[in-house]
Structure 1
Amino acid sequence: MTTRFSDLPKRVQRLPTDRRGFPVPWFVAWRDGEPQFPVVDAAKLGVAWAGELCWVCGDKLGALRGWVVGPMSALEGATPEPPSHYDCARFSVRCCPHLSTPTAKPSARYGEAEGYAAQANVSKLRSGATAIWVTRGRGATPFHAGGGLLFGLEGPERLEWYAAGRPASAADVRAAIARVLPTLRRVAEREGRAPDLARRLQWLDRWTPTEAASREG
């Protein structure tokens, strides 16, 4: 068990660690005894969904589930990754270098490794903010799109935003939405979905932290 983090959820404590002391999420692909960060073992997508397993720790999920999503997935209402336990999701958005480091840039071969199927529907666009979309029960309906699997999300019980490993401010979330919006608008206009995107923007604004809450935080 790693001592790198002081507040590891018990389920995450049971995960193997890499040479740096980082817990290796269940979904990460392995080769020759080494984790292939940040390559997703795409074969586990179906396993996790069918078995209702946590995407981070691999244990059985309970009723409360946390979907780790960026503003693009929040606006589209769909995500390429299954849910996690809420505490596993919270650990991820606070401590995962990929999620908690806004300045990190993916390599040209991000998410790829020889011999592994590349996970579909994953954007390399970095927004700077990530949310935990909290649901109960299944929380989504899977469907095929873009050569892979997506999960159409049900309405959240709550939406918790994080940036740089801490609770996000209203400014953080609005800036993150602004970064992905040009891409989403181009796609929506091409597919004739511009009115739908406008409605989703209004909806997501209701789940953005208020300025007062940001000051209190």
Structure 2
Amino acid sequence: MDAKIETSKPREPEPRAAPVRPSQAEAEAAVRTLIAFAGDDPSREGLIETPARVAKAFREFYCGYEQNPTDTLDRVFDEAGGYDDMVLVRDIPFYSHCEHHMVPFIGKAHIAYFPDGGVVGLSKLARVVDIFARRLQMQERLTAEIAAAVDDGLRPRGVAVLLEAEHHCVSMRGAEKSGVSTVTTRFTGVFKTDAAERVRFLALANRR
């Protein structure tokens, strides 16, 4: 009789606790430290108010952490006249920050979906882009998160997302090559299984 081989299931990763947000005073002290690290004097006149301004700007840059994309896509309009073809919103501007160097990457998003019984307000798709972009990001993850949110929120027959952006961590430091763009895509449903629909999406997204 063969010996029974026992296999253990991989352990599920434990959920990470939510980070503790520092106080306004702690954030401003950190900015003063960085100013000094850069080689300037945080107490000179032109920099005295900078820590408070930077802390305020951070709340704007990263407000996406406090917003839920599910709430944005919670209303679907069923009266679309039987429309069941592609809906494409293109050239959605976004501004995000690279999580590796905390410098901006700026670009445009193109989002398409095939309705399955209902459509969503077009501005809601742009709002989803903003929610995820206003966090520390990688463009690859940003693309995937946008597609997943639209897929989960609308339950369409397919979702297509294309992002193109210039990363200032490439243009301002390191390689210092300006004008270089990065393109990422994510396809689900019909767009993933039907090559003709992918081609049609890409052609419409890039039409000028």
Calculate the TM-score normalised by the size of structure 1.
Answer: 0.30
Larger radius of gyration: 2
Higher helix share: 2
**TM-score between the two structures when normalised by the length of structure 2:** 0.31
